[in-house]
Amino acid sequence: MQHIQFSNLNREKYIERLKTESFDLVIIGGGITGAGIALDAASRGLKVALLEKNDFASGTSSKSTKLIHGGLRYLKQFDFWLVKEVGSERAIVHKLAPHLVLPEKMLLPLIENGSYGKWLTSIGLKVYDILAQVTGDDKRQMLEKKEALKLEPLLPKKILNGAGYYAEYRTDDARLTIENIKTSLMFGAQALNYASVTDFLYKNEKVAGVKVRDEISATDFEIKSKYVISAAGPWVDDLRVLNNSKKGKQLHLTKGVHLVFPYEKLPVKQSVYFDIPDGRMMFAIPRGKITYVGTTDTNYNDNKDKVRTDIADAIYLISAVNNMFPDINLELDDIVSSWAGLRPLIHEEGKSASELSRKDEIFVSDTGLISIAGGKLTGYRKMAERVVDRVVEKLKSEDDTEIIKCYTDKISLCGNDNFKKYKHVKKYIDSVYERIKPNGFSKHDAWFLVTNYGEQTESILERYEKRTEKDNPTKLVLAELEFGIHNEMVLNPMDFFIRRTGRLYFDIESITQYMDPVLKEFKRIFKTEDVQLNTWREILESEIKEHSDFSLNRT
């Protein structure tokens, strides 16, 4: 399997290339939208540079509900176009990365006076199946009360009338982002994290590149480009202000919070999409050792770089869970982790946060800056296609260049060389487990490796074999870290623990367990000074506290 080296150990060389070459397209924003655009544009033959001011996927794209789902609730808003598009996209994205986009059955309990009645749900899920072209076992089933309780004994017996049972997909949004970026490199794209755009370059009053600050060396450089796309999510309007083009439609940010509990505290047998007394809907999703729940949808006007889960969010979500599952009695102390992110939606006068459309929109300024905002994780590939089509039209009108149409629906993502179907992924998990079992590893360890890295697990296991640590779990984590540093632009422990592995959310205790050996490895590979290592340790400790401590006296 081919791995392109993608490492901050080569940072100076990357910056030199960005400074000296000219590009067709610079993309600002290394979230899922920017990553999708980079892959789409590079695979069509455009010369592409992608810039991210923090780490890849550090904004919204590591803080979603982590579902590739069809947006059943948009049927209630009669948004059939959105349901059709994202519904069809689910199957495509699953095919591109079946190790990363996993089939997940979803149970929709029908309760007395709930949002969805039996008839509406039956019709709705049928329409959903047709629009999303769902086939085989994944087609919706309508369950009687007895069948629903057999599938999920935790449901409220007194008010339960039955359930809808249908198919969705679960993912790790930050991993999906990094694999899109790594795949774009195979087509010649260049990408850099910790590089913020401070201004635009202009030629004849048109945007002709960007001014960049390298956040690591605190130096500035310029990149020349025919076009610039801003896919900066919640920061799109900030860049429009910089470009003096923020007029007409603008962003409306809403906050979405998720809480994480030990699986024993909320042992749902599959994902459940359920009613909240205030009329909204919520997910409870089991994932390995934990179950997470979400989400809130509230207006947000605070610091975009520091979005926090506050106690009011936590109490709201906990009471919603306790209301739907009467035998569960969650408390603030049961929270092991949490995350809070922003949705960059398009403002619509008179609409509440949860009524706003999830459709994406493209804005083009008089100076030619192209911005894209809105949209859903599931629709990232189509959003990329639409915005790259705009660039292609412009290039065509300038010099009649013939550029091929989008074909990202056929480009397997990194980590998927041989998986044609999900059953091949399951088979591979079994084979990895057989290989690592003699060293004391569990089936969960094999599942974790494969659902994060796919067939790149081979590279991690090769590194594992060469390492000399005595403790096998530590040895495997350091092999993973080594892979991340050499192939995934990991620059600090937060990149590794939060975005490349999801440990802050799904296995928070492991951070404390492996913090020392991980910091030691940074010292070995990057020759990091002790002062910096101590700063990182403090950041990690404060991240753990912020995401998991919900005592009522929290400040």
Q: How far apart are CA 379 and CA 382, in angstroms?
A: 6
Report residue 80: phi and psi, to 5°: -65, -35
Residue 85 banded pLDDT, cuts 50, 70, 90: confident
Residue 397 banded pLDDT, cuts 50, 70, 90: confident
The tens digit of pLDDT for each residue in 434-493 reads 999 999 999 999 999 999 999 999 999 999 999 999 999 999 999 999 999 999 999 999
Name which CATH class applies to 252-346. Answer: alpha beta
- pLDDT at residue number 75: 64
**DSSP string covering 475-512, please?**
HHHHHHHHHHHHHS---SHHIIIIIIT-HHHH-THHHH
Q: How far apart are CA 31 and CA 250, in angstroms?
A: 20
* Helix 32-43 vs helix 380-399: crossing angle, to nearest 10: 40
CB 54 within 8 A of CB 193: yes
- pLDDT at residue number 356: 66
Beta strands in 240-305 (DSSP E): 251-262, 271-275, 281-287, 290-294, 298-299
The tens digit of pLDDT for each residue in 118-144 reads 887 887 788 777 776 777 777 889 999
- pLDDT at residue number 125: 82
Residue 78 banded pLDDT, cuts 50, 70, 90: low
Residue 398 banded pLDDT, cuts 50, 70, 90: confident
Helical residues (DSSP H) of 290-370, grouped into ranges: 311-324
Report residue 203: phi and psi, to 5°: -140, 125
Q: How far apart are the first and last CA of the chain?
A: 49
pTM (2 d.p.):
0.96
Neighbours of 512 (CB within 10 A): 11
CB 324 within 8 A of CB 291: no
80-84, 212-216, 227-231, 537-541: least confident range: 80-84
Q: How far apart are CA 213 and CA 242, in angstroms?
A: 15
Q: Which residue has the higher pLDDT, 118 or 294?
A: 294
Q: Tell me 129's DSSP state.
A: H
Q: In the predicted model, is pLDDT for residue 357 greater than 70?
A: no
**102 DSSP β-pair partners:** 170
Helical residues (DSSP H) of 163-293, grouped into ranges: 173-185, 236-242
Average pLDDT (45-66) is 97
What CATH code is assigned to 8-60+174-250+359-410? 3.50.50.60
Average pLDDT (20-42) is 98
Residue with tokens 């190790």: 99
Average pLDDT (510-527) is 98
Q: How far apart are CA 266 and CA 292, in angstroms?
A: 9
Q: In the predicted model, is pLDDT for residue 552 greater than 90?
A: no
Q: In the predicted model, is pLDDT for residue 554 greater than 80?
A: no
Report residue 369: phi and psi, to 5°: -70, 125
Give yes or no on whether 252-346 and 422-548 have one common fold: no
Domain 422-548, what fold? Helicase, Ruva Protein; domain 3 (1.10.8)
- Amino acid code (one letter) for 298: T
Residue 553 banded pLDDT, cuts 50, 70, 90: very low
- Distance of alpha carbon 374 from its chain centroid, rounded? 15
Percentage of the chain beyond pLDDT 70 is 96
Domain ranges of the chain: 8-60+174-250+359-410, 252-346, 422-548
**160 DSSP β-pair partners:** 111
Report the mean per-residue pLDDT for the chain: 92
Residue 52 banded pLDDT, cuts 50, 70, 90: very high
- pLDDT at residue number 555: 46
97-101, 249-253, 276-280, 323-327: least confident range: 276-280
- pLDDT at residue number 1: 52
* Helix 422-436 vs helix 457-466: crossing angle, to nearest 10: 10
